[in-house]
Amino acid sequence: MTEDTLWLTMPLTSKTAKAQIVACIHSMPSKYCRDHNSPRTKTELIEFIKEQRAKYWDERQAKNRTAAQRAHSKAQPNNITAAECNNFLRSLPAPEFA
């Protein structure tokens, strides 16, 4: 623990309690620690958000493209076009209801 994070620990009279709190802070996952490369100014933060948003939408569009390709391959296993299917259905005799 560095000196700049020691202010997190309140002045405790019990040394064991303070040691437990310090150990707890050290055991926290690194995702809760501030990254030194993270944006520090407002313009850096805006750029970071723009980059992350673009990355998110690029990944989402790629997923949608692959899902559409899978759906297309499932929908037309025999390479029959919709026009051919419609023409076949129109050529069938009309049903007679009793």
Provide the residue count of the chain. Answer: 98
Please indicate whether residue 35 or residue 92 has the higher confidence score (pLDDT): 92
Give me the residue label for tokens 């129109």.
Answer: 90
Asked if the structure places residue 5 within a domain, the reply is no
Residue pair 1/25 in contact (Cβ under 8 Å)? The answer is yes
Asked if the structure places residue 55 within a domain, the reply is yes
> Structure pTM?
0.34
pLDDT tens for each residue of 41-53: 888 888 888 999 9
**Number of domains comprising the chain:** 1
Asked if the structure places residue 31 within a domain, the reply is no
Asked if the structure places residue 73 within a domain, the reply is yes
For residues 62 and 55, what is the distance between their CA atoms, to the nearest angstrom? Answer: 11
Asked if the structure places residue 81 within a domain, the reply is yes
Residue 22 DSSP symbol: H
Asked if the structure places residue 36 within a domain, the reply is no
Asked if the structure places residue 96 within a domain, the reply is no
Asked if the structure places residue 97 within a domain, the reply is no
Q: Which domain holds residue 60?
A: 49-90
Task: Please state, in angstroms and as integers, the Cα–Cα distance from residue 97 to each residue in 88, 94, following that order.
Answer: 21, 10
Residue 52 DSSP symbol: H
